[in-house]
Chain A
Amino acid sequence: GAVVSQHPSWVICKSGTSVKIECRSLDFQATTMFWYRQFPKQSLMLMATSNEGSKATYEQGVEKDKFLINHASLTLSTLTVTSAHPEDSSFYICSAREPIQGGTEAFFGQGTRLTVV
C-alpha cells in the first residue's frame, strides 16, 4: 500500500515555543490530508482536513490559530502547534487518501509524540 511518513516521530519542547510536524505522502500525490490527535487510551479525534492550495477545514472546537496547517504541495502537509502548552502534549497522526477512482483506503503516518514541558 501507499506510504505516509511523519516527521519527527517524537519531540519535546518547552512551553511557549512552536513545533512543526510534517506529513508526507511518499509514493502518491494527496490533494487532501487529515490531521488527528489522540490522547492515551482514547480514540483518534479529527482536528482538520488539509487541502492542497487552499485553507484547511477545522473541526468544531479546534483552534485554527493554535494549530496552523499548511498544505503547500501535493505530497506535504504541515501542522504547527503554536505557543505550545503542556495540555497540547498528545499523539498527532496524519493520514492521506490516494486519489484513485474507487479508492477508499486512507493511509496513516506513524504518528508524532509531542511532549510539552
Chain B
Amino acid sequence: GESVGLHLPTLSVQEGDNSIINCAYSNSASDYFIWYKQESGKGPQFIIDIRSNMDKRQGQRVTVLLNKTVKHLSLQIAATQPGDSAVYFCAENIRGRGYQKVTFGTGTKLQVIP
C-alpha cells in the first residue's frame, strides 16, 4: 500500500541557472543508465541515456555524468527553463540471463523559479 509521509526531494532553481540532479544506484550489473522526466499525470519521458562503459554523454542542454567508482549518476540541465519543471528519475537497465529490465530510482522534483 501507500507509504504515508514520503515526499520526493525538491530542487529549486532560478530560471536561466544550471540544474544538477543526482542519483545513486546500487546494482553493479547495470549496463546502461537512463534519465527520465515525468510531468504530473503523465508517463515518463526519455531524456538521455549512458552506457556503463562511458563516463559522460551530452545532449541538447543536458549532460549525464556517470561515476562507477561511487555508483553515482548526475543529470545537468543548462539554462533551466520553466518547462523543465517536473520530476526527474534515474533508471538503470539490468540485464540477466534471458531478461533485461529497467528499474527506477527515487526521483527528484525540479522547480524552476521564473
A6 vs B46: C-alpha distance when bound (angstroms): 17
Chain A residue contacts of B97, Cβ below 8 A = none
Asked whether any CB of chain A lies closer than 8 Å to the CB of B43, the reply is yes
Interface residues of A in 1-58 (CB under 8 A from B): 1, 4, 6, 34, 36, 39-46, 49, 57
Residues in chain A near residue B41, CB distance under 8 A = 111, 113
Cβ–Cβ contact A46 & B43, under 8 A: no
What 1/0 flags go to B27-59 for Cβ under 8 Å of A? 000001010100001111110010100000000
Q: B1-35 vs A: 1/0 string, CB under 8 Å?
A: 11100111000000000000000000000001010
**Interface size class of chain A, counting residues whose CB lies under 8 Å from the partner chain:** 20 to 34
Residues in A with CB closer than 8 Å to B103 are 46
Write out the residue numbers on chain A whose beta carbons fall within 8 Å of the beta carbon of B102: 34, 46, 95, 106
* B7 contacts across to A, CB distance below 8 A: 41
- A104 CB contacts on chain B under 8 angstroms: 32, 34, 49, 51, 93
Assess whether B34 is in contact with A87, with CB atoms less than 8 Å apart: no
A67, CB-defined interface residue at 8 Å: no
Most buried by B among A4, A105, A108: A108
Contacts of B58-90 to chain A: CB distance below 8 A: 89
Taking CB atoms, residues of chain A closer than 8 Å to B36 are 108
A39-B2, A43-B89 given; A108·B104 CB < 8 A: no
Q: Are B89 and A106 interface neighbours, CB within 8 A?
A: no
**Given A41-B6, A44-B89, A107:B46 Cβ within 8 A:** yes
Q: Which residues of A contact B (CB under 8 A)?
A: 1, 4, 6, 34, 36, 39-46, 49, 57, 87, 93, 95, 104-111, 113
Question: Could you show 11 A-B contacts with beta carbons less than 8 Å apart?
Answer: A39-B3, A40-B2, A42-B8, A43-B105, A49-B99, A93-B44, A95-B102, A108-B36, A108-B44, A111-B41, A111-B43
